[in-house]
Structure 1
Amino acid sequence: MRPNFIALPKLEDGHPVNKLRESFNRRNEVILYHHDPVGIVFIGDSITDYWDIESYLTLSNNKRIINRGIGNDRSQWVRDRFEADSLQLKPDWIVLSIGINNTKELDEDQSEANQQQIKDRILADIEVMIEMAQARNINIAVATLTSTNRPNLEGFIVRAQLVQSINQEIARLCTQYGALYINYYEQMTETKDGIDYLRDELTDDGLHPHVLGYDIMAEVIETAFAGRYPVIRKTEN
């Protein structure tokens, strides 16, 4: 007999989260049908989506690591699918990494008012998701937004400064709620002339980590979870 589970519909035509909706619905049903023990769900945008996490990390308790990242996702859209793609899988932990795509709105409007609106939106959504997880007695970790390295784009400096400010507030939220703070930013960023950049050697496109960037992210995860959960980082042969 098929399990009762949350299967979300696709949104309007062309919406960026549609591309994995049917796949995630089917995968979620299978996990619930087989009562698979889930250790950690990673949920977020393309930085999560493109990460083949199980090539970098494993759990010594033999539970599963599930990737529920979607390219171009934003905080409000993750919030809408948070129940379906993470909570209903009943993981021990959720790692939430979202927000950088919200800052695309700076391409059209770099005013202080819009910066504040973007920041408030991200933080409000993250706070709600922390509360949702904790209400279900599921541990949650929240990752920093990563820095970028696209200095030729208009608004690069404004975005860099906004990301830094958002990360400070994510740290505050984690302290307030007792959530685990995952600081990718510190390990992946270098400062040039007072502006923070994603390190050149960790990215090809100035936004997404490549294999070396993901290796640092895996190391950050392993360190953050040390003594809390049996996460083991796989090292290259």
Structure 2
Amino acid sequence: MDFGNRIVFIGDSITEWGRFEDTEGIGTGYVRILHDYLRVTYPEKNYEIINRGIGGDRIINLEDRWQKDVLDLKPTTVSISIGINDVWRQLDQPNIEQVYPEQFEEKYRNLLLKLKQELNPTIILMDPTVIEEDINSKGNQALKPYVAVVEKLAKEFDAIRVTTHEAFINYLKKKSGYLLTTDGVHMNSAGNMLMAQTWINEVEK
């Protein structure tokens, strides 16, 4: 994989996952798996992995810290995983101001435009994963238009799309009974492995 050697991963708690407690600042989630995979598989590339996930973030929070946590770092590749909290807040905090699909798309597009104009890195867009390990849950139904936005923007910006939502849904369809999350949203080690595996499969294409 040849897309420079400084990769910024930005997103919510699924991306953050232990980075503040980790001396390397990588964490113990899917970013850690990808860090170790890239380091071991492509040692000559000397990849620098920077984790900028923050728990609870929605697209509006990425907007607030885009300059400091992405543009100022001058990455050669940016991998973005966002959207879960934009939907989850509609379910668990319905009284706060919400981010609906139209606003999600508008703000996401503006961030990608800034990224293209200022740095023009390789862009990797990860679909939001799941809300409850139930294909028909209210959260997973509400996620569909947000996944569609990611698909649309990936085409528009010639980005690599990581179909993590589809990967999780396909896993759930097989009804193994083995859980991938600790609470329906946050990944256990198996869920992190599925995210990382899907990322690698799509990026190495």
Asked if these proteins are the same fold (TM beyond 0.5), I'd say yes
% identical aligned pairs: 27
- Higher RCO by CA contacts (8 Å cutoff, separation 6 or greater): 2
Distance 1:75 1:188, change over 3 A: same
* Post-superposition offset of 1:178: 0.8
- State whether structure 2 residue 184 is matched by structure 1 residue 202: no
Amino acid at match of 1:45: D
- Give the number of the structure whose residues are more often strand, by fraction: 1
Distance between the aligned counterparts of 1:216 and 1:85, measured in 2? Answer: 26
Separation (CA, whole Å) in 1 of partners of 2:171 and 2:6? 35
**Partner residue, 1:222:** 200
CA distance in 2 between partners of 1:52 and 1:108 (Å):
27
Q: 1:78 aligns with which of 62, 68, 75?
A: 62
Q: Give the CA deviation at 1:97.
A: 0.8
Tell me the alpha carbon deviations over residues 107-127 of structure 1, each in whole angstroms, 9 at most, x when there is no partner: 4559xxx98x51122212211
Q: 1:53 to 1:76 in 2, by over 3 A?
A: same
Q: Flag structure 1 segments of 5+ consecutive residues without an equivalent.
A: 1-36, 228-237
In structure 2, the residue corresponding to 1:42 is in which secondary structure?
strand
Give the partner amino acid of 1:222: I
Q: When the two structures are aligned, how many residues end up with a matched partner?
A: 179
* Runs of at least 5 residues in structure 2 that lack an aligned partner in the other structure: 18-28
Q: For the structure 1 residues 141 and 52, does the alpha-carbon distance in structure 2 shift closer, same or farther, using more than 3 Å as the test?
A: closer
Structure 1 match to 2:90: 105
8 Å Cα contact 1:75-1:121 kept in structure 2: no
How much is the aligned-residue C-alpha RMSD, in angstroms? 2.8
- Residue 197 of structure 2 corresponds to residue 212 of structure 1: no
Match of residue 43 from structure 1 = 10
TM-score, scaled relative to structure 2: 0.76
Q: Which amino acid aligns with 1:138?
A: P
Report the Cα distance in structure 2 between the residues aligned to 1:143 and 1:129, rounded to whole angstroms.
15
Q: Which range moved further: 86-95 or 68-77?
A: 86-95
- Distance, in Å, in 2 between the alignment partners of 1:88 and 1:129 is 14
| Aligned residue identity for 1:220 | T
Cα distance in 1, alignment partners of residues 47 and 133 from structure 2: 38
What is the distance in 2 between the residues matched to 1:173 and 1:92?
19
Residue of structure 1 equivalent to 2:105: 123
**Match of residue 132, structure 1, among 91, 96, 114:** 114
CA distance in 1, matches of 2:196, 2:171: 22
Larger Rg: 1
